[in-house]
Structure 1
Amino acid sequence: MAFNTYNKHAIILLLLALVTSHIAHASDPDIISDFILPPNVTAVDGNFFTFTGMRTLVGVDPPTTFTVIKGTKAEFPALDGQSVSYAVLLFPSDSVNPPHTHPRSAELLFLLSGSLEVGFVDTTNKLYTQTLQAGDMFVFPKGLVHFQYNNDATNPALAISAFGSASAGTVSIPSTVFTTGIDEGILAKSFKTDIATVEKIKAGLTPKP
């Protein structure tokens, strides 16, 4: 009897260990080749491993609205299987990167110029904030809601974000909640407001033609 109980406990512990091990190591899948070629591609040269999309940043004026230039596997197929990607974040004065999450990676932000107010909220609803100056780095833990804000009324800010996934994903909280067709009555009840207010928020988030 004691032996059976011990066996049951051992099996439960083993299952728990397997589950937690899988969670702890969850990330981009490991690959068994040096790199992954897109379908129907059999031969590559150095051009395949080069991304030129960031050249648009050179010698141009800062944008008038918050802008993100991504280097993920969608834009740079050579990243597939490499568990890395970049994004360049351009903040005009008084602009914000609204609350959002990256479900598949943490984000390591490096501020190149300007200043930023940044923060994230953990799973206990505790807010962590910081004011960054040029040369500072800040990490946003994987999957947690976070934001960045350039509250300087005059100067722009420029940052680079690194991700531990070739496709970290971005879930924008305002867009996800208000522009994906969730019933307005449900939104009004959820935010303890009225449908007219929900409609006003939706109108503000709808891209202008």
Structure 2
Amino acid sequence: MAFTICNKHAILLLLVAMATSHIAHASDPDIISDFILPPNATADGNFFTFTGMRTLVGAHLPTTFKVIKATKAEFLALDGQSVSYAVLLFPSASVNPPHTHPRSAELLFLLSGSLQVGFVDTTNKLYTQTLQAGDMFVFPKGLLHFQYNNDAKNPALAISVFGSASAGTVSVPSTVFSTGIDDGILAKSFKTDVATVEKIKAGLVPKP
């Protein structure tokens, strides 16, 4: 039987997580109105509704790691509300590479499967854990972290809540190797040669 992302049980857990997401510690500036309405927008039920997660219901897991976000970039009603949301889809043996969220901590809830997770603090100490379905793990604000599904057969599905409407994501591989930093600087920084740097860059280019 093909694996589908959302069944009734998963949807229930998703709704519970959304309901509890408001307890996340806010890091955005406080607003002095109930909500922020963009120019030419109408304050009605549609404005406060996000339908972008409907694609998850009954869908099959993607072949590579995928994240579906609900930040103020996708959901304008979140502006000023100090909360956002993401669904993380992990096929077997897939990874969410090391990255940071500069404006928020991340509270991850594993709905199905298992994940190896970890973060590194400012003393370069690594904290890791293997999560099972139903577990939660917090990645402190701004610290480097990752998630890895090392199960060769089974996928994993997780949701994350952020205490910011725009937590931001700084991916280490793409930030270091795909933003135009000189190959010579990278080679010296990683104590390697330019040929190795070029090989790494080529591996990060998505296949057509």
TM-score by length of 1: 0.86
1:131-169 Cα offsets, whole Å, 9 max, x none, are 000000000000000000000000000000000000000
Q: Which residue of the partner structure matches residue 65 of structure 2? A: 66
**In structure 2, what is the equivalent of residue 132 of structure 1?**
131
- Counterpart Cα distance in 1 of 2:106 and 2:177: 25
Q: Which residue of 2 aligns with 1:17?
A: none
Say yes or no: does 1:33 pair with 2:33: yes
Name stretches of at least 5 consecutive residues in structure 1 with no aligned partner.
1-24
**For 1:78, what is the secondary structure of its paired residue?**
helix
Whole-angstrom distance in 2 between the partners of 1:156 and 1:193 = 35
1:159 aligns with 2:175: no
1: CA distance between counterparts of 2:39 and 2:196? 47
Q: State which structure, 1 or 2, has the greater radius of gyration over its C-alpha atoms.
A: 1
Query: Could you tell me how far 1:208 is from its partner in structure 2?
Result: 2.5
Could you say which residue in structure 1 is the equivalent of 2:206? 207
Q: Secondary structure at the match of 1:182?
A: coil
Q: In the TM superposition, what is the alpha-carbon distance from 1:39 to its structure 2 partner?
A: 2.2
Alignment of 1:70-85 (within 5 A): 70-85=69-84
Post-superposition shift, 1:26? 8.4
User: Offset of 1:206 from its aligned partner?
Assistant: 1.3
- Partner residue in 2 for 1:93: 92
- Separation in structure 2 between the aligned mates of residue 150 and residue 99 of structure 1, nearest angstrom: 14
Q: Secondary structure at the match of 1:204?
A: helix
- Given residue 105 of structure 2, which amino acid in structure 1 is its aligned partner? A
In structure 2, runs of 5+ residues without a counterpart are: 1-24
Q: Which residue of 2 aligns with 1:16?
A: none
For 2:109, the equivalent position in structure 1 comes to 110
Report the AA paired with residue 36 of structure 2.
Answer: I
Q: Which residue of 1 aligns with 2:8?
A: none
Alignment match, 2:180: 181
Report the counterpart of residue 44 of structure 2 in structure 1: 45
Q: TM-score, normalised by structure 2?
A: 0.87
Give identity over the alignment, percent: 90
SS state at 1:75 partner: coil
Instruction: Give the partner amino acid of 2:44.
Output: D
- Secondary structure, counterpart of 2:35 in structure 1: coil
AA of the residue aligned to 2:108: L
CA distance in 2 between counterparts of 1:50 and 1:40 reads 17
Higher helix content, 1 or 2? 1
Aligned to 1:19: none
- d(CA) in 2 for partners of 1:180 and 1:39? 34
- Pairwise CA RMSD: 1.1
Whole-Å separation in 2 of the counterparts to 1:177 and 1:82: 32
CA distance in 2, matches of 1:162, 1:26: 11
C-alpha distance in 2 between matches for 1:26 and 1:150:
29
Contact 2:183/2:194 (8 A) holds in 1: yes
